[in-house]
Amino acid sequence: MPRAITPPPGPPLTLTEVTATLDQHGVDLADEASIARCATLLAGLQRNRAFLADRVIAALKASYADQLEINRYSAQVFLLHRSPRGFYLRANLWPAAGDAVTTASGPAAFSYGVAHDHNFSFLTVGYFGPGYVSDYYEVDPETVDGRRGEPLALKFVERSQLSEGKMMLYRAHRDIHRQLPPESLSVSLNIMDEGDHVPWRDQYIVDLGRQAQGRGTIAKRPTLTSSEMLLRCAVHLSDDAHDIAAHFAKAHPVPRVRANAIAALAAVAEEGEGRAAVLERGLRDADARVRDDCRRWLAE
């Protein structure tokens, strides 16, 4: 499960104080000194019981303009700071099961009931309310290829709640959780790693169907960059895009991009043998994920 962090003692801190220090030192959630610094700052911000309401009210008075500009996430997320040094600070809103927004959008819109890992590490603390509940699992990321349907040796750790003041470090690809809604509206604060590598790392949605036997399977890999989607479209519009897709399929360093380039080429190949030939070339890729995707597409 995520690593429990004892919030360091100290005074409440303003958002300006926190972001200035973070910008000065940067964030590296694989480094113990950086984790300690971030924990001190996040704990201080959590003790400031007025800053979030003040920030939200200011955003509403400004017609939410800054959020529309910098927030790349859903309405559940309120961006507090995005740094050019590759991290961001945000507040996450967690509605209760009976709240109107949950019944209107459905629980999956807030990741409730959907077991998943993260392709980045982040430090989180409960800021307001009872907090969401999670069933926590661990997996050794070194044992995972990332193939759809791949069995995972999951270790169930516990069910617990992100209550006010509780702080945890979620570790990329190691910690898996299935979230359940809080008893009432809750808010968490996060310091997130947003390095250039993050969009190229797959996140996994996990099927817990065999959790009682310590097993789960990778159900989906939902990560997709805009360049991959554009490539899928471009091959239908221009022959030049075919050359780019062929180069990506052969030489791109990210397996998922190679697989999507192969899929793009297959989509514009001649039906039958031509399409099969494109996918069969993908069966020779060095990465198990690419080979598995191509094998599945051939079967379909």
pLDDT at 39 over 60: yes
Tokens of 94: 């967690």
Rounded to 5 degrees, what are φ and ψ at 291? -60, -40
pLDDT given at position 76: 86
Q: Which span out of 106-110, 119-123, 195-199, 272-276 was modeled with the highest average pLDDT?
A: 119-123
The confidence score (pLDDT) of residue 62 equals 78
Sheet holding 151-153, edge to edge: 151-153, 215-220, 205-207
Amino acid at 32: E
pLDDT for the residue 64: 55
Q: What pLDDT is recorded for position 59?
A: 82
Q: What is the pLDDT of residues 151-204, one digit of tens each?
A: 999 999 999 999 999 999 999 999 999 999 999 999 999 999 877 788 899 999
pLDDT of residue 295: 97
What is the percent of the chain with per-residue pLDDT over 90, rounded to a whole number? 84
Q: For position 197, what pLDDT does the model report?
A: 81
Residue 243 pLDDT exceeds 60: yes
Ranking 16-25, 256-265, 266-275 by mean pLDDT, the lowest is 266-275
**217-234 pLDDT per residue, tens:** 999 999 999 999 999 999
List pLDDT tens digits, range 47-73: 999 999 999 888 887 765 565 455 555
CA distances from 188 to 58, 94, 161, 237 (A): 19, 8, 11, 44
- Average pLDDT of the chain is 92
Q: What is the mean pLDDT of residues 84-105?
A: 94
pTM metric for this prediction: 0.91
Q: What CA–CA distance (Å, rounded) separates 297 from 166?
A: 45
